[in-house]
Chain A
Amino acid sequence: DIQLTQSPSFLSASVGDRVTITCRASQGISSYLAWFQHPSGKAPKLLIYGASNLQTGVPSRFSGSGSGTEFTLTISSLQPEDFATYYCQQVNNYPFTFGPGTKVDI
């Protein structure tokens, strides 16, 4: 199975900050990586698919980059509604594994 690691696991930030989260895959997955936002007690929300494609309706302050084994999610200017846990997910091979998550807190 493909393993994903995320760094950092916890991030303390302020409104307006630029935030970057990194996801690394145990083997190459081309661009088959997605990013999700998961607020506590709510449904996860797809932000980015195909490593860099913004899902319809997602604000442009979110962006993704990378290919192969290293990927990043960037939030250009953190907003109050962005405080949540963020997960990467590889969809190159079954099982479609998730990273361990990065909690973004105030």
Chain B
Amino acid sequence: EVQVVESGGGLVQPGGSLRLSCAVSGFSFGSHWMSWVRQAPGKGLEWVASIKQDGSSKYYVDSVEGRFTISRDNAKNSVYLQMNSLRAEDTAVYYCATLLRHFWRLEYWGQGTLVTVSS
């Protein structure tokens, strides 16, 4: 059974930083792209970032480009989201998901971790 577990969320002040982690088990992690998707309170889903199997390609939504960095450690079956210069509008539940290259499927999702940016 595939398990995706996010961690690292919490309360942070505007301008602060936070690092989210996502651990995947029961899955050939190193063979797949990975993504982060978020949902702000009362809003819809928003794709945030994706990373290739070997980390050589990364893509971001414009609103986080230059502030967030996606990375991965295939030896630990984990993907990370380093979030800097956080803003109130970054407040959201952040989901980690596996991304299957075939039709770019967000196939397996975690339960999410809540990030709150507030003073």
Contact = CB atoms under 8 A, between A and B. Distances in A.
Chains A and B come from one and the same complex: yes
Interface of A: 1, 31-32, 34, 36, 38, 42-46, 49-50, 53, 55, 85, 87, 89, 91, 94-101
A95 B36 CA distance: 12
A98 B45 contact: yes
Given A98-B44, A98-B45, A99-B44, A46 B59 contact: no
B109 A100 contact: no
A42 B106 contact: no
B80 interface: no
A43 B111 contact: yes
A86 B62 CA distance: 24
> By DSSP majority rule, is chain B's interface helix, strand, loop, or mixed?
strand
26 contacts: A1-B62, A34-B104, A34-B106, A36-B106, A38-B45, A43-B95, A43-B109, A44-B37, A44-B109, A46-B105, A46-B106, A49-B103, A55-B105, A55-B107, A87-B44, A89-B45, A89-B47, A91-B103, A91-B104, A94-B50, A94-B59, A95-B47, A95-B61, A96-B47, A100-B44, A101-B44
Contacts, number: 62
Contacts of B111: 42-43
Instruction: Bin the interface of chain B by size.
Output: 20 to 34
Nearest to B48: A95
A87 B45 contact: yes
B46 interface: yes
Given A34-B103, A34-B104, A99-B44, 7 more contacts: A36-B106, A38-B45, A46-B106, A95-B60, A95-B62, A96-B35, A97-B47
Contacts of B59: 94-95
B110 interface: yes
A58 B37 CA distance: 21
Nearest to B112: A43
Contacts of A95: 47, 59-62
Contacts of B110: 43
